[in-house]
């Protein structure tokens, strides 16, 4: 029992409300193919934001929106000022055709923790806050984790607001349009601790039959957009050795980065987006534009992978007679979370006799930005089959509730400490 709680008033998670809110939020942006699409600051994401803000207000939270569109619900502590807050959170934007849990689970579990305090009539000794950060996915506006990056001062506000989508719409314009260009300065509330509960999005917990991951950190991420310039020509008349085929050059880069990753024990390389011009069946492509997502838990190995990509681009340019240009879209070093908080997650699982493991996150998270300004850790629950960024993303209800209960345990532990 937390020492600040009266004997009969321990905060407890209301699992039904949590599951109900996850389901309700997952209905915003349903795209007819089984998934939902709520790209950052889009009309459908606004509907998700409105829901979350409504639920924050129902709880009587102090709702604040900052200039980069991050939303916060704050439950004041005993003293009434905002010093020394404990923050939870994640994001509610999604990739295209997404599953129901990525990000939303962390925001709504944070709300479930605050609801537990409210329902128990317990005023926390220090403020509790829940954040829903803007554009974590980085699908519409790059880089990913943009809202939390700006929040912690890792990118100037103006630069974040100027990030433009494929149609040239800036994040600033999009936020104005949906009514979420708030007035708070990003970073107005720097908490003492930040906890993010998330589905694992990978296969390890499920494969090992474990229910909780105590996340030690996040691997490094390096995103590139590569543009290859070739020469459009007739597919039926141009001899192979006279071609400057931008499409073929792109394919060579993609396969050679796959070979690089295969030879490495930890580096991952992905091309998830590609377009050819003119994009016709009988014309050799004059242009190929594609992305490369490189990841590694080791910063030095990530730098080597970046060098391998640069070398490969030069080699292919020379051998295929094409031009290459690359733009760095995101560049985040590996992050280590706070040992004391990681231990508290592990201890909380042990107290409930829940098998857990320490692990490094393969996916990017707002927590990796918050770790720059406060003690930070994450809790993972299993993703069935390790599937995420896919409408079939699934986590068992019992694990969703358990994760939130564990989050509450760690919060109570920190407030007691």
| Interface residues toward ligand GLV, by CB under 6 A | 137, 144, 363-364
Q: With b meaning 16 or more CB within 10 Å and e meaning fewer, what string describes 38-58?
A: bbbbbebbbebbebbbebbee
Residue 364 contact, options Mn ion, ligand GLV, none, Cβ 5-8 Å cut-off depending on partner type: ligand GLV
H/E segment holding residue 215 = strand 212-218
Q: Which residue is nearest to Mn ion (CB)?
A: 103
Measured from the CB of residue 144, what is the shortest distance to ligand GLV in angstroms? 5
Of residues 143 and 191, the one with the C-beta less far from ligand GLV: 143
Please identify, using beta-carbon distances, which residue of 21 and 222 lies nearer to ligand GLV.
Answer: 222
What is the maximal distance between C-alpha atoms in the chain?
Answer: 85
Residue 144 binds to Mn ion (criterion: CB under 5 A) = no
CB of 9 to ligand GLV, least distance (A): 38
Cβ proximity to ligand GLV: between 137 and 245 the closer is: 137
What is the closest distance, in whole angstroms, from the C-beta atom of residue 109 to ligand GLV in the complex?
17
- d(C-alpha 221, C-alpha 223), whole Å: 7
Binding mask 91-110 for Mn ion (x = CB under 5 A): -----------xx-------
> How far, in Å, CA of 234 to CA of 283, rounded?
5
Considering the complex, what minimum distance in angstroms separates the CB of residue 287 from ligand GLV? 26
Cα separation, 412 vs 417, whole angstroms: 9
Contact 194, 130 (CB under 8 A): no
Q: By CB neighbour count within 10 A (0-12 exposed, 13-18 middle, 19+ buried), where does 305 fall?
A: buried
Contacts of 148 (CB under 8 A, 6+ apart): 70, 131, 133, 136, 366, 369, 370
Nearer to Mn ion, 103 or 127 (CB): 103
**With CB cut-offs between 5 and 8 Å by kind, which of Mn ion, ligand GLV, none does residue 409 bind?**
none
Nearest distance, CB of residue 91 and Mn ion, angstroms:
6
Residue 132 vs 349, nearer CB to ligand GLV? 132
For residue 144, the partner it binds in Mn ion, ligand GLV, none, with Cβ less than 5 to 8 A by kind, is ligand GLV
Q: Give CA 221 to chain center in angstroms.
A: 12
Rounded least distance, CB 37 to ligand GLV, Å: 14
How many Å apart are CA 381 and CA 200, to the nearest integer?
A: 6
C-beta closer to ligand GLV: residue 393 or 409: 393
Report residue 380 as tokens. Answer: 């993972």
Distance CA 108, CA 22 (A): 7
Asked if residue 324 lies in contact with residue 226, where contact means CB atoms within 8 angstroms, the answer is: yes
Q: Min. distance of Cβ 354 from ligand GLV in angstroms?
A: 25
Least Å distance, CB 107 to Mn ion, is: 10
Residue 296 partner contact from Mn ion, ligand GLV, none using kind-dependent CB cut-offs of 5 to 8 Å: none
Could you tell me how many residues of this chain bind Mn ion (CB under 5 A)? Answer: 2
Of residues 144 and 399, the one with the C-beta less far from ligand GLV? 144
Question: How many whole angstroms separate alpha carbon 318 and alpha carbon 312?
Answer: 10
Residues at the interface with Mn ion (CB under 5 A): 102-103
């Amino acid at each position: 029992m937390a020492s600040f709680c009266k004997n009969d008033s321990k905060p407890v998670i209301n699992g039904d409300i949590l599951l109900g809110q996850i389901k309700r939020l997952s209905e915003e942006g349903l795209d007819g193919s089984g998934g939902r699409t709520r790209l950052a600051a889009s009309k459908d994401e606004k509907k998700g934001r409105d829901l979350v803000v409504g639920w924050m207000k129902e709880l009587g939270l102090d709702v604040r929106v900052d200039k980069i569109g991050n939303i916060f619900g704050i439950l004041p502590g005993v003293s009434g000022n905002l010093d020394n807050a404990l923050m939870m959170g994640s994001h509610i934007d999604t990739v295209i055709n997404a599953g129901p849990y990525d990000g939303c689970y962390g925001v709504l579990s944070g709300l479930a923790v605050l609801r537990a305090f409210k329902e128990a009539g317990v005023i926390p000794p220090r403020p509790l806050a829940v954040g829903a950060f803007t554009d974590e996915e980085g699908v519409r506006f790059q880089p990913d984790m943009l809202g939390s990056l700006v929040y912690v001062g890792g990118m100037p506000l103006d630069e974040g607001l100027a990030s433009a989508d494929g149609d040239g719409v800036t994040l600033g314009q999009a936020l104005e349009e949906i009514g979420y260009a708030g007035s708070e300065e990003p970073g107005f509330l720097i908490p003492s601790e930040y906890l993010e509960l998330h589905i694992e999005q990978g296969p390890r917990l499920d494969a090992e039959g474990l229910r909780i991951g105590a996340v030690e950190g996040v691997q490094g991420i390096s995103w590139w957009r590569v543009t290859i310039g070739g020469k459009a020509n007739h597919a039926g008349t141009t001899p192979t050795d006279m071609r400057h085929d931008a499409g073929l050059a792109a394919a060579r880069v993609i396969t050679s980065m796959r070979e690089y990753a295969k030879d490495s024990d930890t580096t991952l390389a992905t091309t998830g987006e590609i377009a050819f011009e003119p994009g016709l069946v009988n014309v050799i492509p004059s242009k190929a534009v594609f992305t490369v997502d490189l990841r590694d838990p080791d910063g030095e190995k990530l730098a080597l992978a970046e060098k391998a990509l640069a070398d490969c681009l030069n080699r292919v340019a020379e051998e295929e007679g094409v031009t290459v240009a690359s733009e760095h879209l995101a560049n985040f070093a590996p992050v280590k979370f706070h040992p004391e908080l990681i231990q508290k997650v592990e201890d909380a699982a042990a107290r409930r006799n829940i098998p857990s493991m320490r692990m490094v996150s393969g996916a990017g998270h707002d927590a990796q930005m918050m770790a720059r300004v406060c003690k930070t850790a994450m809790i993972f629950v299993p993703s069935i089959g390790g599937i995420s960024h896919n409408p079939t993303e699934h986590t068992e209800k019992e694990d969703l509730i358990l994760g939130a209960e564990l989050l509450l345990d760690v919060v109570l532990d920190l407030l007691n400490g």
